[in-house]
Amino acid sequence: MPPIDSSAPTFKRVMLKISGEALMGEQAYGLHPPTVERIANEIKTVHDLGVEICMVIGGGNIFRGLQGSAQGMERTTADYMGMLATVMNALAMQSALESLDVFTRVISAIPMDQVCEPYIRRRAVRHLEKKRVCIFAAGTGNPYFTTDTAATLRASEMACQVIFKGTKVDGVYDKDPEKYADALRYDDVSYNDVLAKRLGVMDASAIALARDNRLPIIVFSLDEPGGFKGILAGEGTYTTVSE
C-alpha cells in the first residue's frame, strides 16, 4: 500500500466497522465515555485528511441477538433488540464526534425520525460528499443478519474503496492469539481462505459479499494509538483480506 499525504489520500471513501464491545473499555458491559472519546479522536485524525468516512458499530456491549436467542428468546425479537442497541452506540459516537467539531449523521435502517435519519442511499451519499461522517445503525433492518454484513452492504452501496475492521488484535491469525502463543498472523489472506479456514474475520455472508464486490478488508487493532491514520500512511501492523 503506497504512503499518502494529507493532500492526496489513497482512499477517498472508507467504511470503519467496529464492535460494540470496543466501546466498553475495561467494563463488563455498556459504554465507557473515555473510550468512545478516544475512538472519536482517531476518526477525526483520518477525517481531517479529507477522507469520507462511513461507520457501522455493533451492539454487543448492550445486547446481542444471538445470546438472547440462546437464552430462549425468540430469535427475530432478539435481533431487533440488538439493532436498537446499535442505534444507542451510534448516537453516543455521534455525540463524541460532534464535540470535536466533526459533523455526523446517524442513519438508521429502522425509521425512528425523532433521533436519527432513515436510510436513503442518495441522501447518505450527499452527506459523505459534504464531508459528514455517516454512522449506519440498526444493521440491515432485517433479523438474522449481523452488523458485519450490514457494514459490507453499506460499504458496497456507498461505493467505499475499503472496509477497515477495528478489533482488539492487530490482524488476522490462524488461531486466537490471546489463547495460543504460537498463533501466526497473516499479512495478506484471500476471501476464500478466510471462509475455508474459518478465520473469524467476519461472518461468512459478509466475506462472500465483500468478495463478490471486490471490496478489500483491512483488519487492525483499535487499541493502537494512531493506528487508523497510520494504516493510511502504509504504517503499522494489519492484515489485508482481498482476492
The domain segmentation of the chain, as residue ranges, is: 13-242
Compute the CA torsion angle 119, 133, 135, 62 (nearest 10 deg): -160
Architecture of domain 13-242: 3-Layer(aba) Sandwich (3.40)
Beta bridge partners of 242: 190
Q: Count Cα neighbours of 129 within 13 Å in the Cβ-side half-sphere.
A: 8
Written as one string, the DSSP assignment of 205-240 is HHHHHHHHTT--EEEEETTSTTHHHHHHTT-S--EE
**Overall average pLDDT of the 27-55 stretch:** 93
Average pLDDT, the chain: 90
Q: Would you state the pLDDT for residue 8?
A: 55
Does pLDDT of 213 surpass 80? yes
How far apart, in whole angstroms, are the C-alpha atoms of residue 241 and residue 243?
A: 7
Query: In sequence order, what are the residues at sequence separation of 6 or more whose Cβ sits closer than 8 angstroms to the Cβ of residue 188?
Result: 239, 240, 241, 242
Q: Which residue has the higher pLDDT, 6 or 116?
A: 116
C-alpha cell at 26: 475495561
How far apart, in whole angstroms, are the C-alpha atoms of residue 135 and residue 54?
A: 6
Q: Would you state the pLDDT for residue 69?
A: 63
Strands 162-167 and 13-18: parallel
pLDDT in tens, 130-177: 999 999 999 999 999 999 999 999 999 999 999 999 988 888 998 888
